[in-house]
Chains A and B, each alone.
Chain A
Amino acid sequence: MILGLIRNIGQASLYFMAAVGKISLFTFAAVRWSVAPPFYVRQLGRQILDIGFFSLPVVGLTTLFSGMVLALQSYTGFARFSAEDTVATVVVLSVTRELGPVLAGLMVAGRIGASMAAEIGTMRVTDQIDALDTLSTRPMQYLVAPRLIAGTLCLPLLVLIGDIIGVLGGYLVGVYQLNFNPSLYLSRTLQYLEFSDVTLGLVKAAVFGFLIALMGCYHGYHSGRGAEGVGVATTNAVVSSSILILIANYLVTALFFG
């Protein structure tokens, strides 16, 4: 019984270490081929359009309503000790430092991570990746590198736009529902905001974008056979990138906190 338990723990740790090793090797290869020519500019353009542009509505709506609800909730809380004035500051700091990058990251993980894993997984299952290889094209450079670069570049831009929309959401609720003075709300928004708050959010976003693309590509690339294999790859991509986003969120914040 105890021996069985130890065996199970040992087996699980071995699987875990093997997975970590595989992902590390994949990451190393992916980054290496991202910085070596040839660069597939057209592929990169397609990914930037897909990740950056077509994710705008999702990210915009997410941050808009998060900003709005944040204004409402913080008002309820702060009104209990007559600190309603701080609502604008709380909204802008929460959105730029935390909610913008994390919520945008999670939404993009669902949208982009899944589609990357499904697309690359289908290519794996239908031998298209082997075909690429036999046609003198490195799959790492043609498929993975453009997605990694696009993910890392686009998420900060998306989050920057999301930040503005989130603060706007807070402003709308503050001014039109909670009857704050518009110019006072705006000045409170900017009064305590530091440049580093925004850059912290953007650094996080870049890390999240990298992780989303990495997980989407990794799981797609190692997809199992058939429709089921692609389905599992897609699920794994979304789940693992979401969890990694939350872990990385803490780590990056802690790193900048000190």
Chain B
Amino acid sequence: MLKNPSKIEISHLAKTFGSKVVLSDISLSVPAGQSLCIIGTSGCGKSVTLKCLLGLLAPDSGSIKIDGKETVSQSRTHREEMLRRFGMTFQFGALFDSLPIWQNITFRLRQNTYLSNQKAREAAAEIVVQLGLEARVIDQYPAELSGGMQKRVALARAIADKPEILLFDEPTSGLDPITGGVIDNLILDSVRRLGATALTISHDMASVRRIADQVAMIHKGCVIWSGPSTQMFDSGIAEVDQFVHGHAQGPLTDEAILAAKTGV
């Protein structure tokens, strides 16, 4: 335990929007240097958990500790310090479409330190080449790139500042299987090279199998199963089984049908 302390420790997180309970009791922990994938059906609270972790949303109760330090309701200055250690890729990239690629990638570097345009362009070019893109894309704008290229640029922006913690929101959604596989490898590679701790939201099981050390499944705002990714196919929990095998029938879909019928 001491050898591999928790980098991220989330306990009893709860969040309600109006009368809708999104998170009721989320407890997760990610050991340093490990990669955790959170899986679950759409709207189960995965993204909200991630937003709470980033401090974009304030949870109603519960605690989130990074390196043992509480981050819920921390001051703005502390939060900014914390965010510098994070690299985040958003589901749809969230690249700044008014800025060329090199400015996107070096955005934070240039916020925090003085960097000449020449140096920034060189740094950006180095990263995009690492991620298998041609160096000339740094002068293009996000809208000119394909979906797969945008994901790579988003990854480039996340790792440019060499963060300790990498967060990925559906890194392979909307990509063909081959590009998805390439992105997975790039993620694995970057995480390993930086020695970072990774937390990924995904419902692409092929991708989860490739990039996760640990898997946690969220259902109805609670963690219903967590364990090593090698064991997710024999968890013994019906909901997890249905999800990881992608069966059309099972407890997850029965609940949805029942809810639609009774209006609950």
Q: Residues on A close to B: CB < 8 A? A: 38, 119, 123, 126-128, 130-137
Contact = CB atoms under 8 A, between A and B. Distances in A.
B243 interface: no
A137 B111 contact: yes
A127 B95 CA distance: 9
Counting from the closest, the 8 A-B pairs by CB-CB distance are A127-B94, A131-B94, A135-B108, A127-B90, A134-B88, A128-B94, A135-B107, A136-B111
Given A126-B92, A131-B88, A137-B108, 13 more contacts: A126-B97, A127-B91, A128-B95, A128-B97, A130-B51, A130-B90, A131-B94, A131-B95, A131-B96, A133-B56, A134-B54, A137-B107, A137-B111
B44 interface: no
A127 B94 CA distance: 5
Contacts of A123: 96
A79 B54 CA distance: 71
A119 B83 CA distance: 25
A247 to B, nearest CB: 33
9 contacts: A38-B111, A127-B94, A128-B96, A128-B97, A131-B94, A133-B54, A135-B111, A136-B112, A137-B108
Interface of B: 51, 54, 56, 80, 83-84, 86, 88, 90-98, 107-108, 111-112, 157
Given A127-B91, A130-B56, A131-B90, A136 B84 contact: yes
B160 to A, nearest CB: 10
A126 B143 CA distance: 13
Contacts of B83: 133-136
A41 to B, nearest CB: 13
A130 B57 CA distance: 10
A202 B95 CA distance: 39
Contacts of B88: 131, 134
A38 B80 CA distance: 14
A198 B227 CA distance: 73
B57 to A, nearest CB: 10
Nearest to A38: B111
Contacts of A132: 96
Contacts of B111: 38, 135-137
Nearest to B80: A136
A38 to B, nearest CB: 8
Contacts of B112: 136
Contacts of A38: 111
B50 to A, nearest CB: 10
Contacts of B94: 126-128, 130-131
